[in-house]
Each structure stands twice: as C-alpha cells, then as structure tokens.
Amino acid sequence: MSVVTNTTTIGAIDAPSRRNTELVLLAFAVAIPVFAYLNVGLALNGEVPSGMLGYGLGLGLMAGVAHIVVRKFARYADPLLLPLATLLNGLGLVLIWRLDQSPRLNARADFAPQATNQLMYSALGIALFVGVLMILKDHRVLQRFTYISMAAALILLILPIVPGLGADVFGAKIWIRVGGFSIQPGEFAKIVIAVFFSGYLMVKRDALALASRRFMGLYLPRGRDLGPILTIWAMSLLILVFENDLGTSLLFFGMFVIMLYVATERTSWIVMGLLMSAGGAVVVASFAGHVQARVNAWIDPFVCKETSVACDQMTQVLMTFGSGGVLGTGLGQGNSDLIGFAANSDFIFATVGEELGLTGVMAFLLLYGLIIERGIRTALAARDPFGKLFAIGLSGAFALQVFVVAGGVMGLIPLTGMTMPFLAAGGSSVIANWALIGILIRISDTARRPAPAPAPSPDAEMTQVVRP
Amino acid sequence: MNKPLRRIAIFCGLLVLALMIRDNWIQYVRADELNTHKFNRRVQIERYAYERGNIIVDGKPITGSVETKGSDFKYKRTYTNGPMWAPVTGFASQAFDANQIEKLEDGILTGNDDRLFFDRTLAMFTGEKKKGGDVVTTLNGKAQAAAFKGLGDNKGAVAAIDPQTGKILALASTPSYNPSVFAGNSIKDSENRQKLLNDKDKPMVNRALRETYPPGSTFKVVTAAAALENGVVEDIDAPTDTPEPYMIPLSRTPMKNSHGGCEKASLNAAMEVSCNSVFANLGDKVSRDKMVEMAQKFGFNNAEIDTPVRASSSVYNKTMDRGGNALSSIGQFDTAATPLQMAMVTAAIANDGKLMKPYMIDQLRAPNLDVIQTFEPEEMSQPVSQENAQLLQRMMENVVEKGTGKNAQINDVTVGGKTGTAQHGVGNSKRPYAWFISYAKTDNGSPVAVAVVVEDSNGTARDDISGGGLAAPIARDVMKAVLDSKE
C-alpha cells in the first residue's frame, strides 16, 4: 500500500485573491469620473453632456478589460493599484475635456483639444498594461535584459537631441517627432532604466556594501565601485544640460540613489547621493540660464513677473490655486485657463486646485500616496531581490515624479517640466504609467501568490514507506 | 533589504505630507491674498461677470451696464454724460481697474460685499440673476450741470457743498474725459486711455479734489477769521494800523495793492476791495502759529479728507518765517488749496462757524433697493464762533453787494462771496488763477456754498482776469441751480 500525503501544507485555506474587492473599487473608480463629467457638462453648458454615455462606457470597458486580465493572469495582485490608476486616469480625462471647452484656451495658437486623443492614449496604455500582464508571466525574466536595458535607456534618453528627430518644445528638448506623433522617450526610459538598475544592483550589491573603507563613520566604497554612480550622475547632468530637463535628471538620479540604498543598506550612499545632487545642482544653476529663471520664479514670482515668462506663469499658477480656496469653485466654474500655455499638461494640477479646492488636491495627493505606498508594499512583500529592487525603483520614481511636479506647480520647489502621472494630457506619460502599474501588479501577484505546493520529493516519499 | 524599504516608505510618505502642507499654505493660509491679488485677473472677471450696480444722482442712474460678447468680461460699464460726472464716478474699466467711487464701493457695485451675503444667498434660491447694489450720491444734477456748463472750455473746477450737512452738491472739473471710452478691454480702449494720459491738459485729473492751487485773495476770509478769533480785530469797521505802502516783514519789498484806499482801512473795507496790505498786516499780527491753527481747523494740512474719495491735502506752511506768513495770509507763497477746501471754508462760515465733514455718498442700496447703509452728517470742527461767523458773513455779503463780487448777485437772495486772483509761475509769468467762493442764504440757513477756480483763460487779457469776472458768474449759476431745486 502506498499512501501519498502532503505533509508540508500548514494552512489549508487558499490565500484570498482580493479580486472582488478590486471589482467593487473599480466600480467606484468609473462612477466618480462619470459624475465629474456630468458635473462639468452641467456647469459649462447647463445640460447633460451628450458624450457622457460614450465616456462612461469607454472608461468602464477599459477598466473591465483590465480587471478581467488581472483576474486571469495576476490573480493575487494588489487590489488597489488598478482602481487607483483608473480613477486618476478617468478624472484626468474629465479635466482635459473641461479645459478643451475653454474659449480662452481655444483662442490660443498653441492649443488644440486633447480629450479624444487622451482617451485613445489611455486605451493604448491599458492595452500595454494588458500586454505586460499577458506576456510577462514572471518579472524575473527581465533580469536577463540588464545590460540591454541600459543601452536601450541611453538610446531613449539621447533620442531627443538627435538632429531631425528631436523637437524643441519651448526650450525643453525632451520630445521626438515620429510621423505626426510626439513621443516623450524619457517616460519610457524611466521603466527601462529601472530594469537595468535592479539587475545591476542585485549582482553588485555585496561588492558595493561590503568592500568599503570606514571613514568618519561613513562607509566609503572602493573607487571602482564608484564608477556606476558617477556614470549615472554624469548622465543625469548631461540630460539637464543638453535637454534642458531638470525633472528627468532629478528623477533618474533620485531613483538610482534610492535603489542603491535599498540594495546595499548603507546610509553612506544616501549622503553621497545628496552631496552629488547638491553639487550638480549648484554647478548647473550657476551656468544654465533656464534653471536660474526657474529658481527666481520659485523664490518670489511676483517680483519678476514683468520680466520673466517663467515668473509670470508661476504667478498665474499660484493665483489659480489660491482662488480655489478650501472647497474650490466647482468643476467647470474656475478660471484656471488663465494660465494659458500648458494649462492642460504641466499645470493641470492647478485646475484641480481651483475647481476642487484644497479638499480636492488633498484627495488627489492621497490617491497618489496610496499608489506609492502600495508599490512599496509590493517591494516589501516581494520574495526575490530583483523584484524588490524593481518595485521600489518604480514606486520611488513615481513618488519623485509626483513630488517634483506637484511641488513645482505649488511652488514648494522650483518648477520642472514634467507631467502629473495619469492626469496630464500627453500620450507617452499615460502609456508609460500604465505599463508601470502593470509591472507593479505583476510583481505584487508573484509576491502575494501562495507558495506553490512543493513537488512531492522522491526522497520524502521514500522515508514514508513503511515496510511491514 | 526590508529595513531600507521601510525607511523609503516613510520618506515617500513625508514627500506627500510636504505636498499637503504646502497645499494648505497656498490654498488656505494665503488663499485670500492670492484670490484678491492685484495681478489676479479673476478679480476683473468677477467684477464684470454680472450687471454692475449703478451710481445714482437725484434718483436716476448716471451709469449703466451693457452686455458684451467675445471677451472674458460679460458686462461693460457705460456712463450717462460721462465727462460731466467723471470727477464723481471715476472710471471702471475691464482692462484698467477702477478708481474713485467705482473702486471704493466696488464690493457693493459688484454685489460681492459681505453685507450683501444675505441677498446673494436668497437670489441663489429664488433663481434671480445676481446683480450689484447701488450707490446713491448726495449730488445735485442741476448744480453739477450748471458748474460743468459754466466752466465750459476753460480749465478749472467747481466744488459745491451743503453747509448745513456737508453733502457735496457739485464736483466738476474741466477739461474732463468720458470714462466710457476705455471701459472695455479692446485695443481701441487702450489707445483711448493712452491718448488721455498723454494729453497735456490732463483731463483725467480730478481738479476739484486732487489739484491744489494758490487760493489768492479768497484765503483772506481765513485770515479775517483768525484776526477776529484771536482778538486782533474787535470791530470790523474800525480802522486798522496798516500803513501805505506796507512793507513785507523781513524784506524791503512793499506789498502791492491793486486798489487805492487801503491805508488804515477797516477789515470790512479791506475785504470789499481786497486790500493785500491790510490782510498781510493782520496775518503777521495774528502770528504764524495762530494762522496755522486757524487754517487747520478749516481743514488745511489734513491728508485724510475722505469724501470717501480722498482729497489732496491743502497746505498752510507750518515752518515759514514772518515774511512768508504775511504773504501766505493773502493766499500766496506756499499756501495751496483744493477747490473742495475753499468750499469747506465758505461752508463753515455760512453755517455760522460749524464745519461739516464733506461727503458725497448718501446711501448704499442692495439690488432689491433695501438700504444697507445711510451716511449721516458729521461735524468736523468749529473754526470760528457763531458771532464771528456772522461778522464774516456780513463782510462777504458786502463784497457781493458793493465790492468785487457783484457778478454773483442773485435777485431776492442774500449772497456772500470773495474773489481771488492768485499769481503763479516764476515772476508771476503765468496766467493767474481766477477764484470765487460764495454762499447763498435763505430763511432756513444757507443751502449752498461753492468754490470756483478757473485755471487759465484763453484769449482774456491778463488784467481782466479776476475772480469777479470769470469765476463769480459760474458760482452764481451753481447757487441758483441749488436754490431752484429746493423750491
């Protein structure tokens, strides 16, 4: 007689998948933007907007598809990430549609309605999200592409300064034009470079952490281990100098320092990172005119309002926030279009400030905060170092981006030209961020999935054979 | 790797917290400041988003609102008889802010004043369209028209006050401007305004309130008041000790008189023919400090005469020497007064010595015509006793009856007045200012006191310029208009 018993399983209950929680949250994440859409229509035209049904169905359909795919391919994934992203994306569409109807913006030569395009980009983003979940069955596969990723990221970052391909949009060279479409390669580079950092640091973390000398309480790495960090530092400075893009360079460097710290558990890296970014910032600020202008606009925009466009823009943004007050004017009833240039992209958060008020901005910040913390939670739960590093890299980059953009428009730090994830008009940003959410969901699924029952070991089998 | 992860989690939480604190700072702590910031166009948009309330004279609006298309601003300000009323209303322009009453009572006119909160809330429920409240002025349409017409093409100003209450009845300034021409937001509006700003005649200056002139001989009534109040003159018909020629103190220059018979002339006689020597002598005897005291009681050296539109401060120099004081006593040297100031002097004398605070807003009304606030007459000071005021009245009435002010006579009405011809420019090279101050008296006290200044007189020979010839007829017409409207 041969009895096969599984003696390794302790809890017989299957871990909850939380997919139903996600579905309920998704229903809210679709309903809230639909109400917001209705609100805008009633405020602007006094009638139920004709596109409401189409908008609601579209958003609902996209959320539904995403949900089904998650249910099928990432059953144990974090239940909050998808609803949060859907809600932000939906509200972003409403805000863009609201600004599309501003006569003041439509009178501008540099303005074109964006809502339809943005809906299309959102659909593309969800498609990429679906693609990530369906194709990438295990995130650890990406480990194989560590050095390819590095090359890819460099190429993506260099593209905008390639003559003929790059487009200079009001000073910042972060765009490329391919057949009528503008693409911001930096948004995608963010993810690709996280792959490289994770793969590289996973391999080198011991060398970086242990082979160091102690000096004044800090562990100083060996000279040859400093190479990569110096390279990244130089690269982010080059982006700043050649592409006039303060935001992206800050983002990459910050992301690298965070991942380095997590990988090595050495505080000295943080100190070195801070010193290097401070040094870089001082050098660049004293040489690059556009950075100086931004800094002046940050210190007191009302003083230099007459002489500098950056300052004038900043005063408009601050007054837009201030005019919202605690409760806001209500969707469709503010004058955030006075900001003019980039009102629906870089400065879209100001529209939230004016029309939804302090309350609305706080709610949005909480939504972003939740995404960030769920991402870090995923990193904590991940079982493999690559997954941990990858998740913290993406979440950290997301957090830095939210901080840099929201802090910039609210005057907390100097303004940098970056987009608010999911809210701002712009295809690259929304598509790349959906991919980012897709990867986090994939890692969280792997992390939360109950450990597979170990294959019955032949040896174990043997020991249980009782010979009469 | 979990320990640093937890720290990063806290760090990211702090980033979000910093954003939240910053947001509270700009959207709560600084919200009011940013919301009403002078660069915030929303203030203008809000100001013209609804039909603006009106400024009312004699129960009729002198302003209006028209709906406009194709700009940020829904309504545009219009003015009835703009140039005539501009010194009262000021302007309200979509592109160039507002001034005077339009600015000071903006809250009422736009309907955003806190006192209109209840009306706004009520209107929200009844579905009524939001509208601004009205500002009811104290002005008298007929008097204003008489003043504006009288000034005609001359540069000058008229201020008329009801001496018993301080209500401003007329406030005219020429050349004037029509605030309608730049009420909008177009390039044309901008050009029109620029043209007005570049005009060398300065049409946008409110001469009645905001321009000071040497008051010349009209200031002699202040000197006379000081002489009486300080006991320098006890009997206005008694001869004074003024020699002819009278030498200006601390100098070897004799004080010129345009008229004979000033030697040892009595106060009354000196007033009648406007003797410079007598008043310079009296001013010197009163002493500088006492002269300053008297002038200040009448409102000189006061930078806060708010009607509510603030009038410029009239000046009587507090630190000059004896010679300066003697010249100042006949309204020359540093002495300068706004037309409103001289109207206040006249009003105080006409009101038996009591100076009422001048004001031009009678009531603020809600859109539904409920009165929100009524302004009451307020006593400002008592520069002269009733007795002395009546002596001053006797002298001023004598001036109109027999002296230099005959042009101001009105049939069957007692009128008191004083002419003035003030010199200015280096070596008196410029054309003098013609002044006239006067009041009319009925059985119920005096209903009107008026001050007229005519700056420059085109085509009039220099010698002919005198307050009696140019300014007195205007004053007469204004007083008549007020008297007629009382009947």
Q: Is B239 a domain residue?
A: yes
Q: Compute the distance between CA of residue B122 and CA of residue B128 in angstroms, rounded to an integer.
A: 8
Q: How far is CA B129 from the centre of its chain?
A: 36
Contact (CB, 8 A) for B209 and B171: yes
pLDDT of A243-283, one tens digit each?
777 778 888 888 988 998 999 888 887 888 888 888 877 77
User: Is residue A88 one of the residues assigned to a domain?
Assistant: yes
Q: Contacts of residue B42 in chain A, CB cutoff 8 Å?
A: 319, 323, 335, 338
pLDDT for the residue A292: 80
- pLDDT given for residue B452 in this prediction: 92
Residue-level pLDDT at B158: 92
CA distance A312 to A305: 5
Q: Which residue of A has its CA nearest to B73?
A: A104
Confidence check: pLDDT of B56 > 70: yes
Q: Are the Cβ atoms of A412 and B12 closer than 8 angstroms?
A: no
- Whole-number pLDDT of residue B327: 87
- A204 shares contact with chain B (CB less than 8 Å): no
Domain assignment present for residue A213? The answer is yes
Residue B461: the pLDDT is 44
Find the mean pLDDT for residues A92-110.
89
Residues B229 and B2: their CA atoms lie apart, in Å, by: 94
**Is B304 inside a domain boundary?**
yes
Domain contains B154? no
What is the per-residue pLDDT for A1? Answer: 45
Q: Do the domain assignments include residue A171?
A: yes
Cα separation, B475 vs B473, whole angstroms: 5
A289 touches chain B (CB under 8 A): no
pLDDT in tens, A120-174: 999 999 999 999 999 999 999 999 998 899 889 888 888 887 777 776 665 666 7
**Domain contains A466:** no
Residue B362 corresponds to which tokens in the numbers above?
Answer: 């009678």
Helices (H), B2-127: 2-24, 31-35, 41-47, 82-89, 100-104, 106-110, 117-126
* Cis check: omega of the bond before B175, within 30 degrees of 0: yes
A contact residues 329-388, partner B, Cβ 8 Å cutoff: 335, 338, 353, 357-358, 361-362, 365-366, 368-369, 372-373, 376-377, 379-380, 385, 388
**Mean pLDDT (whole number) for A431-460:** 85
Are the beta carbons of B12 and A373 separated by less than 8 Å? yes
Determine, yes or no, domain membership for B311.
Answer: yes
Of A261, A366, A400, the CB nearest to B4: A261
- Burial pattern A232-242, b for ≥16 Cβ within 10 A else e, equals bbebbbebbbe
Tell me how far the alpha carbon of residue B242 is from its chain's centroid: 36
Taking the C-alpha atoms of residue B418 and residue B420, their distance in angstroms, rounded to an integer, is: 7
Query: What positions of B carry a catalytic annotation?
Result: 217
Query: How far from B443 is each of B392, B399, B413, B414, B440, CA to CA, in Å?
Result: 18, 20, 10, 10, 10
Q: What average pLDDT does this structure show over A211-217?
A: 70
* pLDDT surpassing 90 at residue B42: no
- Token pair 């279009």 is found at A337
For helices A115-135 and A427-448, what crossing angle results, to 10°?
30
Structure-model confidence comparison of residues A388 and A310, the more confident one? A388
Amino acid at A320: T
Q: Is the pLDDT of residue B466 over 70?
A: no
Residue B367: CA atoms inside 13 Å, Cβ hemisphere, count?
23
Question: What pLDDT is recorded for position B464?
Answer: 47
In this predicted model, which residue has the larger pLDDT, B328 or A368?
A: A368
CATH code, B403: 3.40.710.10
Q: Which of A30-39, A70-79, B478-487 has the lowest mean pLDDT?
A: B478-487
**Chain centroid offset of residue A25 CA:** 21
Lowest mean pLDDT among A286-295, B148-157, B317-326, B405-414: A286-295
More confident residue, B94 or A360: A360
Please indicate if any CB of chain B lies within 8 Å of the CB of A411. Answer: yes
Does a structural domain hold residue A459? no
A-chain residues near B20 (CB < 8 A): 362, 365
Amino acid A235: pLDDT = 78
Q: Output A37 or A177, whichever has higher pLDDT.
A: A37
The band of B430, judged by pLDDT with boundaries at 50, 70 and 90, is low
Nearest CA in chain B to A368: B16
pLDDT at position A344, please?
A: 86
Residue A116, in any domain of the structure:
yes
Q: Alpha-carbon distance A397 to A418, whole Å?
A: 12
Provide the token pair at B445: 């006290």
Q: In terms of pLDDT, which residue wins out, A178 or A408? A: A408
- Residue position matching structure tokens 């004979």: B260
Tokens of A298: 């940050």
Tens digit of pLDDT for each residue in B187-238?
888 888 888 889 888 888 888 898 888 888 889 899 999 989 888 888 888 8
- Among A33-37, A346-350, A416-420, B162-166, the range scoring the smallest mean pLDDT is A416-420
pLDDT surpasses 80 at B83: yes
Residues 6+ apart with CB under 8 A from A231: none
B391: nearest Cα among B228, B164, B219, B223: B228
B215 is in which domain, residue-wise?
210-361+379-486
Residues in chain B, how many?
487
B25 assigned to some structural domain: no
Taking the C-alpha atoms of residue B219 and residue B224, their distance in angstroms, rounded to an integer, is 9
Whether A298 maps to a domain, the answer reads yes
Q: What is the pLDDT of residue A404?
A: 92
pLDDT for A355 equals 94
Q: Is residue B86 part of a domain?
A: no
Contact B191, B165 (CB under 8 A): no
Residue A60: band (very low, low, confident or very high) from pLDDT cuts 50, 70, 90: very high
Q: Are B448 and B142 in contact (CB under 8 A)?
A: no
Kindly report the number of other CB atoms within 10 A of residue B375's CB atom.
17
Which of A226-240, B180-194, B353-367 has the lowest average pLDDT? A226-240
pLDDT score of B414: 86
Where does the pLDDT of residue A395 fall: very low under 50, low under 70, confident under 90, or very high at 90 and above? very high
Most confident of A104-113, B42-51, B371-380: B371-380
Tally the domains of chain B. 1
**What is the mean pLDDT of the segment spanning B273-297?**
87
**pLDDT for residue A25 is more than 90:** yes
Q: Residue type at B398?
A: N
Q: Choose the closest CB to B5 out of A104, A368, A376.
A: A376
Closest CA to A86 of A318, A393, A430: A430
Task: For residue A142, give its domain range.
Answer: 19-453
Tell which wins on pLDDT, A372 or A13: A372
Domain count of the fold of chain A: 1
Residue B384: is its pLDDT beyond 70?
yes
Residue A456: what pLDDT? 67
For residues B397 and B167, what is the distance between their CA atoms, to the nearest angstrom? 23
Q: Do B34 and A372 lie within an 8 Å CB cutoff?
A: no
